[in-house]
Structure 1
Amino acid sequence: MDYYALVIGSIFALSFLLTLSKITTKGSKKLPQGPIIGNLHLLGAKPHVSLANLANIYGPIMSLKLGQMTAVVISSSTMAKQVLKYQDQAFSSRFVPDAVQAHNYYKFSMAWLPVCPQWRTLRRILNTSMYIVDT
């Protein structure tokens, strides 16, 4: 009797995990094909050469899994121009550390604000009030 309960429980658990994995992967973003690199030192002594060799294999746009972080590498100047021209708002966001968020400093600093009217105003004030001192 215990054997049947174990089999039915295992089937239920596997079907639950399968359903859960399908739900979580349904909303995930499609990334370009690329290798998985566990550590940055695996790129070698000349990482620019290693990335150029990987670009020959995977194409001008590839995704790299560097540990827990996923990076999209664009090795073609025309592709980079297109991406930065049409996806500029997505790339202009900045990571705000927890220490800055704890004291709400990011709401009043041009370095941490996303591109918005307040950021533009702060940038304009900073540009007009800065001056160069000749020594």
Structure 2
Amino acid sequence: MDLFSCLLCLLVAWASIYIVVSARRRKSGAGKLPPGPVPFPIIGNLLNLGNKPHESLANLAKIHGPVMTLELGCVTTVVITSATMAKEVLQKKDQSFCNRTIPDALRAHNHNQLSVVWLPASTKWRTLRKMGVGV
């Protein structure tokens, strides 16, 4: 095979993977997420952030609004750039956003079971938090 044929095969494979991933994302309920820039396969929107992410996020907010979805690698992230929207999310919708994604490295060593940072909001979390504040 010559170089052109190899590049053409890679382009077709990349386009096919992109179409399949996009179709799955639409079917999986990702339509409920806020709008955002179109992500690239595998790397997502990491190229959109550039060297100065705060400026890039401000520019993206002008285009997509104060609440947007970014794909940072394989992690879907909702970015809030407005103070009023942040207040609403943190005060009125706090139960929906209170849990964090636990990294696999912490889960492998069971650090997620006794750490106030990684526990979901529950009675165990409240007890550990009270113990930490009382010290």
TM over 0.5, shorter chain = yes
2:38 matches 1:36: yes
Q: Post-superposition shift, 1:54?
A: 1.1
Q: Secondary structure at the match of 1:64?
A: strand
1:72 CA displacement:
1.3
Aligned equivalent of 1:59: 65
Q: CA deviation at 1:121?
A: 0.9
- Which whole-Å CA distance do the structure 2 matches of 1:30 and 1:53 have between them? 23
Give the TM-score, by structure 2 length. Answer: 0.65
Structure 2 counterparts to residues 70-109 of structure 1, below 5 A: 70-102=76-108, 104-109=110-115
CA distance in 2, matches of 1:58, 1:39: 14
TM-fit CA distance, 1:26: 6.2
CA contact (8 A) 1:74 1:80 kept: yes
Q: Deviations over 1:73-94 (max 9, x none)?
A: 1111111111111221222212
Pick the structure with greater CA Rg. 1
RMSD between aligned residues: 2.5
**1: CA distance between counterparts of 2:28 and 2:116?**
36
Unaligned runs of 5+ in 1: 1-20, 130-135
Aligned residues: 108
SS of 2:117's equivalent? Answer: coil
Structure 2: gaps spanning 5 or more residues: 1-22
Identity %: 53
